[in-house]
Structure 1
Amino acid sequence: MDMESTAWHALYRTANAQRDRRPFSAATLRRIASAARPHRVMLVCFLLLSVVTAVLAVVTPVLAGRVVDAIVTGAPAPAVVTLAALIAVIALAEAGLGLLARWLSASIGEGLILHLRGAVFDHVQRMPIAFFTRTRTGALVSRLNNDVIGAQRAFSDTLSGVAGNVVTLTLTLVVMAGISWQVTVLALALLPVFVLPARRMGARLARLQREAADHNAAMSTQMIERFSAPGATLVKLFGRPEEESAEFLTRARRVRDIGVRTAMVQSVFVTALTLVSALALALVYGVGGVAALGGRLEPGAVVALALLLTRLYAPLTALAGARLEVMSALVSFERVFEILDLRPLIVDRPGARPLPEGPVSVEFDQVSFAYPSADKVSLASLEEVAALDTRGGVPVLHEVSFRAEPGQMVALVGSSGAGKSTIAQLVPRLYDTDAGAVRLSGIDVRDLSAASVRATLGMVTQDGHLFHDSIRANLLLARPGAGEEELWEALRRARLEDLVASLPDGLDTVVGERGYRLSGGERQRLTIARLLLARPRVVILDEATAHLDSTSEAAVQEALAEALAGRTAIVIAHRLSTVRAADLILVVEDGRIVERGTHTDLLAAGGRYGQLYRTQFDTGHDDGRGNGDGAGAGRDGTGTGRDAAPDPAGTPGAAAFEPAPAGAAR
């Protein structure tokens, strides 16, 4: 590596190492050693190869000096050829060992990335829903990308670099001192001029890079939010495109200015250090040449010293910033371990068992619940706040009790934020209760395996989510082994068969991000088709027809009536006309069940249900806005808060839902 390359390398590594300097613990080192244990054999071989390569790098300048001496002294040609051949053999060996070391380095580093990414991805999937409602997605993805790669560098670059550089530096100094300790001392006297600017310029460059990274992150966030389909729609409807562009360009100009300053800092630093290295070589040639003319040094020794000098500054500079590089790598490890140390709130108990076959009842027994506080489910660094809120969550449910017998349908109605969606989320164990119990067929869901609960329950929300994938892939989430006929049957029952068949790619049509290539009604019907394909024993519908027009709603209601036949159902209802035939209607207000009964009984009682009913029907408007029911972003925790259109409901085994009264608008 020449002096200019050494200067660039030193500046880059020092700057990056100084970007994040934090203390670390011995426990982190133990965990790193544990992560490296599966690769220990390859790691030892890698370090040995690094040492051997460092030795060969020092031998070559010495042999070059002997070639010069042989030429000057008039040695026989075979002697010169032998030395040249030996240099060639060493070069070939160095190249071969370098390739092998690189393969080992890549295998260790990529293996570590695979292990850490797999561990983090698996762990994040087991985190509660509250974790995802608080965490910035970009910050979480950064842990899987940037920090995992930073941790990998500890093995592939830093560790081997430290080992190789220590050996190279030690051997180089020993050999140079053996040739001429005076020249060696003079060469070392210039080291501070080479190393200290790297540290100072590196710190300055790190500050510029950090500022640029902050601006780039802000621009990325702005682009991600504005370039998504709902974000772009919001900007076009209510935003100010000119101000958005101006804000973006302000940050972009700052990044440009930082880029210019960074380029000048780098160029000045590299030019200065290249000049210093040239002066060091001139010193060696001058002092060594005078000594050679005076007979105190052989000419070949001067050449060897000059070549060895080029091998001296690179490891010296690298080792000067080695501590910072190690610290930077350790910080990356700590950021990865920080994610892995988050305790999932929902875990299988020891001995968790599957739910027995057959019809399933759903029971809430004195259930009270509050959403967990931030410090229990998140990290300040993932939310990009100084400190997490440690206050306990506000109680959302208070001693809720009811029972849905096998095959029955229970409807939940009430004001927005009353806790209806929270009740629905406790059944599939998206959260655990604080008090009381949720039971399936008399078994506490906490005593059931998560796989069994997932296989038993099917849920459709008012904002059914689709992945940026094909229709086929989105359906197969419900049943990975489903055949072609089963997929088309589910689409037929969801009244989507004709639409999908008309698409050029059919089932392989990509639906776009969150399914935005489809209309709202089509997206919702596709999520219902996914439910039909899953064939759950318990169905939960949370405003399942919120985005459907009158025609689509009627078609989907027929499909859902078929899907609900013989199954236990919990339906969050907004338009009361759709739940009049429910076996049990629960009126939820402020996290409590204030009324329960059938439609007829509740109307006769003249309570809250009667008020809701009259609000919708006395004015002839059942338009999905009568009681303002939604997901309840503030208290139900789903974050949607949309007004909804009617929910399907019906008696077990009914062919279709009961139609709305004549005066009700669809």
Structure 2
Amino acid sequence: MHPMAPMGGGRPPASAARSADDKKWLAEHPVSVKRIAALFRPHLGTVIVVVLLIVASSLIGLAQPFIIRELIDVAIPNREVDLLLAGAGGLVLIALVSSVLEVVQTWRATLMGQRVMHGLRTGLFTHLQKQSLGFFTNSKSGDVQSRLINDVGQMQSVITNSATSIASNLTTVVATACAMVAISWKLSLISLVVLPPAIILARQTARLRRAVTGRRQREMSNLTSLIEERLSISGVRLSKIMGTGAADASAFAQSSHRLIDLEMKSALAGRWRMAAMSIIFAVIPAVLYLVAGLPATGDGMSIGTLVAFTGLQAGIFRPVMGLMQISVQWISAMALFGRVFEYLDTDQALPLPEHPRRLDPAAMRGEVVLERVGFRYPGAAAPTLEALDLVLEPGTMTAVVGATGSGKSTMGSLLPRLLDPTSGRVLLDGVDLRELDPEQVSRAVSVVAQESYLLHTTVRENLLWAAPGASEAELWQALEAAQIAELIRSLPDGLETAVGQRGHRFSGGEQQRLAIARTMLRRPKVLVLDEATSALDTVTEALVQQALDELAVGRTTLLIAHRLSTVLRADRIVVLDSGRIVESGTFAELVEQGGRFARLVANSEFADRVG
């Protein structure tokens, strides 16, 4: 038994464990108000305008109780019609001006909030695009989506509503308190004595809300991940094959049930404290009437003064309660800001060159050189690649073979700069990839992998994704070269045919050929073929291989071979073992040497194919 485990082998309550995790997470991801304020800096002019509108609206509204006092104490008893008309007109004018100011304020504040959220949302999306593959390998896609959509969306209410409410309510409270003192300082003491306990209760409620909000958002991420994984085409297919539908539904139901519990806790957090404050605020008017009616305390107080003051007292209740609720919402929102800022602070991005170099596309030769390249995944006990020296001559095909885990795919990921080497460097035409503009690297180096990825749109849009300016003739030319033009022509909608989610409208071989056509439209100088035919049947493999041969013509090609049948056409073969190149040469040379490659050939299905 673990030394810290409870007696009897029991486990601590799940809620206690989650609470401890929440506190630890919040402690590790503090959010500074200064950083949040920086989001508003580009919109300082709008902030000033909104604040002025709020102050103006609050001050104009404070004239109402003074007008009411004059109407009750002077105009009505003395039948002063002019004063009565002026007072009534003043009340209407105050309502009209306040309404107009509120509409303008809401418009400006909402527009500002939307622009702040737009900047934050696009900034987060752009930042995530720069992350290495390792970041996405270690992150749930549902969590990424949840932070980008749900968390940023909920922060919108903080930006648009909470921030303006704080300014509005604070201004109203201060101005109303001053007016209350001006009318009757004795009654003000009775009314304002409730503020200290209200602040204490608000802070306690805020702590409860903040912890629950973090847990609720993490559960929302888990629910989003379940939907993404279980209801994707691949997830549904796997579920039907494995017969896990009931288990998947149960997991979803459990996560949804936990979310209900957290939503209820979030909604009810501190509500009893708020209810107690509501009762206190409701009792105050009764106390005020009692004080005004007693001879000892109410001597000399007019009816107009009492009515005006109770109106102010009732008016201060809403903004005080609003400030208490806003403080709860604001502190709860810190968990949301913390989750978004955590992603913005990730440092797994591939660094961009400060002064990127560019190669002339027309003069690009496509020579790739690996100089003493090493790579180690974070936390790995041993390097995946170590001291690799390799030259890929322009226009040639180099095949890389080796056992599973030898580092072939990692090596292939270095050329399009999906990963950066942890030691050494990768050169394209003599320039380190880390010094080149990333956009030029992506145009110069393309990858055709075993699993193709097609967008859930039409064939045309999938092709134009690679080359937006391609003409109709160029699209069909690429399809012809990829050995799939005839099939596309036979479809009723032709290029407008929807490929379906992840391309499942087409077979695996057809998806591969569409991916090859898309790559052809980019006209890369360097090509990485990550065993694009290993999962296909013999007939389909022949069609795809023909398309690949067409694609590789005149291009520097790195062929990552999991099946030795694909290396016959390579100009050179290198053998990887534990991240090192142990053999290099032509097919005939390596077989004649009788080394590791010769043993791979002897022990593979390839021997039967050439025998």
In 1, Cα distance between equivalents of 2:37 and 2:215: 33
In 1, Cα distance between equivalents of 2:440 and 2:262: 55
Partner SS, residue 357 of structure 1:
helix
**Partner residue of 1:300 out of 295, 301, 304:** 304
Q: 1:539 to 1:327 in 2, by over 3 A?
A: same
String of CA shifts for 1:414-434, please: whole Å, max 9, x gaps.
111111112211112222223
**Partner residue of 2:135 out of 131, 134, 151:** 131
> 1:3 matched to which residue of 2?
none
In 2, Cα distance between equivalents of 1:136 and 1:192: 45
How far residue 571 of structure 1 moved from its aligned partner, in angstroms, is 0.9
Q: 1:338 to 1:215 in 2, by over 3 A?
A: closer
> 1:243 matched to which residue of 2?
247
How far residue 330 of structure 1 moved from its aligned partner, in angstroms, is 5.5
| Conserved? CA contact 1:494–1:525, under 8 Å | yes
Q: 1:333 to 1:266 in 2, by over 3 A?
A: closer
In 1, Cα distance between equivalents of 2:262 and 2:344: 35
In 2, Cα distance between equivalents of 1:212 and 1:126: 28
String of CA shifts for 1:164-208, please: whole Å, max 9, x gaps.
333222221222222222222222344466555555555556656
**Partner residue of 2:313 out of 305, 309, 313:** 309
Q: 1:614 to 1:105 in 2, by over 3 A?
A: same
The answer for unaligned runs of 5 or more in structure 2 is 1-22
> Which amino acid is the alignment partner of residue 549 of structure 1?
D
In 2, Cα distance between equivalents of 1:265 and 1:160: 23
How far residue 584 of structure 1 moved from its aligned partner, in angstroms, is 0.6
TM-score between both structures, scaled by the size of structure 1: 0.79
The yes-or-no answer on 1:541 pairing with 2:541 is no
> 2:519 matched to which residue of 1?
531
How far residue 512 of structure 1 moved from its aligned partner, in angstroms, is 3.2
| Conserved? CA contact 2:214–2:335, under 8 Å | no
The yes-or-no answer on 1:38 pairing with 2:42 is yes
String of CA shifts for 1:224-253, please: whole Å, max 9, x gaps.
221122222222333543333334434444
In 1, Cα distance between equivalents of 2:478 and 2:254: 51
> Which amino acid is the alignment partner of residue 164 of structure 1?
S
> 1:177 matched to which residue of 2?
181
The yes-or-no answer on 1:562 pairing with 2:550 is yes
| Conserved? CA contact 2:565–2:606, under 8 Å | no
The yes-or-no answer on 1:59 pairing with 2:63 is yes
In 2, Cα distance between equivalents of 1:265 and 1:338: 26
Partner SS, residue 244 of structure 1:
helix
- Aligned pairs (5 A) from 1:181-220: 181-191=185-195, 197-200=201-204, 203-204=207-208, 213-220=217-224
> Which amino acid is the alignment partner of residue 244 of structure 1?
D
> 1:105 matched to which residue of 2?
109
> 1:407 matched to which residue of 2?
395
> 2:96 matched to which residue of 1?
92
> 2:596 matched to which residue of 1?
608
In 1, Cα distance between equivalents of 2:131 and 2:137: 11
String of CA shifts for 1:68-112, please: whole Å, max 9, x gaps.
334541322332121111111111111111111111111221111
The yes-or-no answer on 1:371 pairing with 2:359 is no
Deviates more, 1:215-224 or 1:475-484: 215-224
Partner SS, residue 395 of structure 1:
coil
> 2:11 matched to which residue of 1?
none
Identity of aligned residues (%): 34
> Which amino acid is the alignment partner of residue 546 of structure 1?
S
> 1:637 matched to which residue of 2?
none
> Which amino acid is the alignment partner of residue 473 of structure 2?
E
> 1:362 matched to which residue of 2?
367
Higher helix share: 2
How far residue 456 of structure 1 moved from its aligned partner, in angstroms, is 1.6
> 1:452 matched to which residue of 2?
440
- Aligned pairs (5 A) from 1:148-297: 148-149=152-153, 155-191=159-195, 197-200=201-204, 203-204=207-208, 213-256=217-260, 272-288=276-292, 296-297=300-301
> 1:518 matched to which residue of 2?
506
How far residue 212 of structure 1 moved from its aligned partner, in angstroms, is 5.0
> 1:578 matched to which residue of 2?
566
| Conserved? CA contact 2:127–2:344, under 8 Å | yes
String of CA shifts for 1:13-32, please: whole Å, max 9, x gaps.
xxxxx999659989x45544
| CA RMSD in angstroms, aligned pairs only | 3.3
> Which amino acid is the alignment partner of residue 433 of structure 2?
V
In 2, Cα distance between equivalents of 1:463 and 1:36: 44
> Which amino acid is the alignment partner of residue 142 of structure 2?
G
Q: 1:144 to 1:251 in 2, by over 3 A?
A: closer
| Conserved? CA contact 2:409–2:560, under 8 Å | yes
How far residue 322 of structure 1 moved from its aligned partner, in angstroms, is 6.0
**Partner residue of 1:350 out of 348, 355, 358:** 355
The answer for unaligned runs of 5 or more in structure 1 is 1-17, 374-390, 621-659
Partner SS, residue 571 of structure 1:
strand
String of CA shifts for 1:379-430, please: whole Å, max 9, x gaps.
xxxxxxxxxxxx4663111222222222211111111111111221111222
> Which amino acid is the alignment partner of residue 430 of structure 2?
G
Partner SS, residue 586 of structure 1:
strand
> 1:376 matched to which residue of 2?
none
The yes-or-no answer on 1:141 pairing with 2:129 is no
Partner SS, residue 413 of structure 1:
strand
Deviates more, 1:492-501 or 1:254-263: 254-263
Partner SS, residue 604 of structure 2:
helix
